[in-house]
Chain A
Amino acid sequence: MKTIKVDYIARVEGEGALRIRFKGSEVRDVELRIFEPPRFFEAFLRGRSYLEAPDLTARICGICPVAYQMSACAAMEDAIGVGIESGLRALRTLLYCGEWIESHTLHMFLLHAPDFLHYPDATTMARDHREMVARGLRIKKAGNALVRVVGGREVHPINVCVGGFYRAPYRSELEALIPELTAARDDALIAAEWMATFDFPEFSRDYELVAIRGEREYPFMGRRIVSNKGLNLDVHQYDATFVEAQVPYSNALHSSVKGRGSYLCGPLSRFSLNFDLLSDAAREAARRARIPVPCLNPYKSILVRAVEVIHALEEAIRIIGQFETPAESCVETNARAGIGYGCTEAPRGLLYHRYSLDGDGLIRDAKIVPPTSQNQKAIEEDLMALAPRMVAAAHGEATAMAEHAIRNYDPCISCATHFLDLTMEQE
């Protein structure tokens, strides 16, 4: 019996382990075990006010707090029957653009690119590719600046509330960002061309791609969830369509499409299902990088992220150009009993929140489904498909292959409940 074991996979957000068992050259099973300690958000949210959900759920993830705030707001506003006017919605999109830019850039330059170029980390990579790493850091900084101006700070922004914002940013504050955002867009265009020269493994699977379908804009927020295999539902039908199951080896729940199996959310899905809604420059960058539509090669997710960064930068510049300070920074909200459903596109994919409120606006029940739980089954299946290549490879190379395959998804294990510990067993 052959056992290959690695302590953990680095450059992911969270703690996890991987075990692959072989019989001969056949794979028996793959277990992606997430041992990030559970923090019980859905439990302690009970009894809290609907107004507290954006700040409390933001703490699920320091990498994508805006996503949690946006999904929580969407669900709460649905529960209490409040609509947000277009000016405030544009401000939310602007804040979300900032998060996509900083989160994607962190992953592309600091976590994922080193896989393609065989470095342990970005600072080592910077010895040979300093200019590109510096470019990445500049783009990331521009994204963070946007989050800071609209949200108050980069991690766990303070300015978001159910109904809108505590204070709308001043026009002058936003306009001051334009030069940095424009320079970042130019940096991102160059980065996309550089990343397109990476060596991409031949790999694709027949994924069910699931994402929000934008009405007029590439989706950050929305209610309509679609797939390339015929799903087309409103967010309130989420629980009737998808199911979460607990597995004994993991602290993260696994999602699947009822009666059908695994699915994929995130950049590949958004891109494949909303290509027509990307900005002209983003579409052009995708063509130059030769990304197919639909894109079914998860290794190319780094290119898709680059395209989404270009789009988010252009979208941010557009929104700021048209910005007019809203009359009220927040719509009035009043507590009422009800159930609310909300979903938005976190950088890693669909983030679903559902809350049931009592007449005082206190949470009776909460359900949160982060993108990494939804993708976990698909990640395991990718590893299963790669296993024959891993068996044939030397131990170190096999581990690198497994880690790379997992990092394709930018898994946020803190969200899903972090490190990877690879065990390969040969019976």
Chain B
Amino acid sequence: MPQRPRKRKPRLAVWKFASCDGCQLSLLDCEDELLAISEQVQIANFAEASSARMKGPYDLSLVEGSITTAHDAQRIQEVRRASRYLVTIGACATAGGVQALRNFGNTKEFASIVYATPEYISTLDRSTPVAAHVRVDFELRGCPINKAQLLEVASAFLDGRLPAIPAHPVCVECKLRGTICLMVARGVPCLGPITHAGCGAICPAYARGCYGCYGPSDSPNAASLMREWSRRGATRGEIVRVLRTFNAAAEPFAAVSKVYEDDQG
């Protein structure tokens, strides 16, 4: 068999913005693959794992975290300029994360609750996803991401193909897994019908309704599902809260939560 010409190893960079580190940890959680990956890919920037840092350009940048400071709004521009492909990993980078709950409140008041001298704190009023600032080549969802999906996305971009990441709702994953529908069979409120697949429908397998940590699926009917929740006894406050967690700023979770909030008076 003819040998392919030796190419230089592709360069991978991992960047962090406002986040919990959990999504980049998913890469270190690939215990079986980590050493093999490090042999095939040049890990050029991954501060959590290595003191060695290489300058760009990078073939693939994985970005964790949302933009919450003026400095970070600049830094993401630099990351974009240095990267051939930029993939956001997780709910923070893709939807603003749990820290986007500030978008519904008053950030100055928030700072004064946590800090005695809020003047020392420099932060933006809103937590925004990376795509609000720069072009993003792919958004991998989840709070946290699924590490098998991370490997799929990274290898797809480095091989120059499209990643196979379905955008259907969690319901499909329950069917694939053979989990009996909690909402139909046991009346447990579940966000599965409007939530993006990817986790593998873990919660229903643990007798818990989906709580939406992968954000909205492709064209979800959130208003309809929430009417059903309401009919089954969920209060308006509960509905606002369940839509406002780790993907609070993602549409249509944000829009529907606003309707229920306004109705609360």
A residues apposed to B, CB below 8 Å:
7-15, 36-44, 46, 48-49, 52, 55-56, 59-63, 65, 102, 106, 110-111, 114, 120-124, 126, 130, 133-134, 137-138, 140-141, 144, 152-156, 158-159, 161, 165-167, 245-246, 248, 251, 253, 329, 403, 412, 414, 418-419
Q: Which of B46-54, B133-141, B163-171, B224-232 contacts A (4 or more CB under 8 A)?
A: B46-54
Q: How far is the CA of A399 from the CA of B67 in the complex (A)?
A: 29
Q: How far is the CA of A152 from the CA of B109 in the complex (A)?
A: 36
Distance between B69 CB and nearest chain A CB, rounded to angstroms: 5
Residues on B with C-beta less than 8 A from A56 are: 98, 245
Pair A60/B20 contact, Cβ less than 8 Å = yes
Q: How far is the CA of A12 from the CA of B50 in the complex (A)?
A: 9
**Among the listed B31, B72, B102, B213, which residue makes an inter-chain contact with A138, where contact means beta carbons less than 8 Å apart?**
B31
Q: How far is the CA of A134 from the CA of B32 in the complex (A)?
A: 9
Pair A37/B26 contact, Cβ less than 8 Å = no
Pair A134/B35 contact, Cβ less than 8 Å = yes
**Among the listed A14, A138, A154, A166, which residue makes an inter-chain contact with B208, where contact means beta carbons less than 8 Å apart?**
A166
**Among the listed B28, B120, B143, which residue makes an inter-chain contact with A156, where contact means beta carbons less than 8 Å apart?**
B143
Residues on A with C-beta less than 8 A from B28 are: 106, 110
Pair B113/A141 contact, Cβ less than 8 Å = no
Residues on B with C-beta less than 8 A from A48 are: 241
Q: Is B43 an interface residue (CB 8 A)?
A: yes
Tell me the B192-231 residues at the A interface (CB within 8 Å). 199, 202-203, 205-208, 211, 213
Closest to B208 in A: A166
A-B contact pairs, 26 of them (CB 8 A): A11-B47, A37-B69, A38-B111, A39-B98, A39-B127, A40-B110, A42-B113, A43-B102, A44-B98, A44-B102, A52-B245, A62-B21, A62-B22, A65-B20, A120-B50, A123-B34, A126-B35, A134-B35, A137-B34, A152-B203, A166-B208, A248-B120, A329-B207, A412-B21, A414-B19, A418-B47
Distance between B192 CB and nearest chain A CB, rounded to angstroms: 13
Closest to A153 in B: B202
Q: Is B10 an interface residue (CB 8 A)?
A: no
Pair A166/B206 contact, Cβ less than 8 Å = yes
Pair B22/A155 contact, Cβ less than 8 Å = yes
Q: How far is the CA of A141 from the CA of B107 in the complex (A)?
A: 40
Pair B20/A10 contact, Cβ less than 8 Å = no
Pair B16/A418 contact, Cβ less than 8 Å = yes
B residues apposed to A, CB below 8 Å:
16-26, 28-29, 31-32, 34-35, 38, 43, 46-53, 68-69, 72, 97-99, 101-102, 105, 107, 109-111, 113-117, 120-121, 123, 127, 143-144, 199, 202-203, 205-208, 211, 213, 238, 241, 245-246
Residues on A with C-beta less than 8 A from B68 are: 37, 39
Closest to A166 in B: B208
Residues on B with C-beta less than 8 A from A111 are: 49
Pair B105/A44 contact, Cβ less than 8 Å = yes
Pair B49/A121 contact, Cβ less than 8 Å = yes
Residues on A with C-beta less than 8 A from B17 are: 37
Pair B29/A167 contact, Cβ less than 8 Å = no
Q: How far is the CA of A236 from the CA of B68 in the complex (A)?
A: 34
Pair B51/A403 contact, Cβ less than 8 Å = yes
Q: How far is the CA of A167 from the CA of B205 in the complex (A)?
A: 9
Q: How far is the CA of A159 from the CA of B116 in the complex (A)?
A: 35
Pair A11/B109 contact, Cβ less than 8 Å = no
Q: How far is the CA of A106 from the CA of B24 in the complex (A)?
A: 13
Pair A155/B26 contact, Cβ less than 8 Å = yes
Pair A62/B23 contact, Cβ less than 8 Å = yes
Pair B246/A59 contact, Cβ less than 8 Å = yes
Q: How far is the CA of A165 from the CA of B37 in the complex (A)?
A: 36
Pair A419/B47 contact, Cβ less than 8 Å = yes
Distance between A366 CB and nearest chain B CB, rounded to angstroms: 9
Distance between A404 CB and nearest chain B CB, rounded to angstroms: 11
Pair A123/B99 contact, Cβ less than 8 Å = no
Q: A43-B102, A43-B110, A140-B31 provided; 14 other pairs, C-beta below 8 A?
A: A10-B49, A38-B121, A41-B98, A42-B113, A62-B19, A63-B22, A102-B29, A121-B43, A121-B51, A155-B29, A156-B143, A246-B116, A248-B120, A412-B21
Pair A38/B241 contact, Cβ less than 8 Å = no
Pair B31/A141 contact, Cβ less than 8 Å = yes
Residues on A with C-beta less than 8 A from B52 are: 120-121, 124
Given contacts A38-B123, A63-B21, contact A44 B31 (CB under 8 A): no
Task: Pick the 6 closest A-B CB pairs, nearest first.
Answer: A62-B22, A121-B50, A43-B110, A120-B52, A123-B38, A155-B144
Pair B120/A158 contact, Cβ less than 8 Å = no
Q: How far is the CA of A130 from the CA of B35 in the complex (A)?
A: 9
Q: How far is the CA of A106 from the CA of B30 in the complex (A)?
A: 12
Closest to B242 in A: A52
Given contacts A61-B20, A62-B20, A126-B35, contact A43 B50 (CB under 8 A): no
Given contacts A43-B109, A167-B207, contact A156 B114 (CB under 8 A): no
Pair A13/B48 contact, Cβ less than 8 Å = yes
Residues on B with C-beta less than 8 A from A403 are: 51
Pair B110/A11 contact, Cβ less than 8 Å = no
Pair B22/A43 contact, Cβ less than 8 Å = no
Q: Which of A10, A59, A114, A152 has the most CB of B within 10 A?
A: A59
Pair A43/B35 contact, Cβ less than 8 Å = no
Given contacts A144-B29, A414-B19, contact A37 B72 (CB under 8 A): yes
Given contacts A8-B47, A62-B21, contact A40 B35 (CB under 8 A): no
Q: How far is the CA of A141 from the CA of B207 in the complex (A)?
A: 25
Residues on A with C-beta less than 8 A from B20 are: 59-62, 65, 414
Pair A11/B49 contact, Cβ less than 8 Å = yes
Pair B241/A52 contact, Cβ less than 8 Å = yes
Pair A49/B51 contact, Cβ less than 8 Å = no
Residues on B with C-beta less than 8 A from A124 are: 50, 52
Pair A153/B199 contact, Cβ less than 8 Å = yes
Residues on A with C-beta less than 8 A from B238 are: 49
Pair B50/A10 contact, Cβ less than 8 Å = yes
Residues on B with C-beta less than 8 A from A11 are: 47-51
Q: How far is the CA of A13 from the CA of B19 in the complex (A)?
A: 10
Pair A43/B31 contact, Cβ less than 8 Å = no
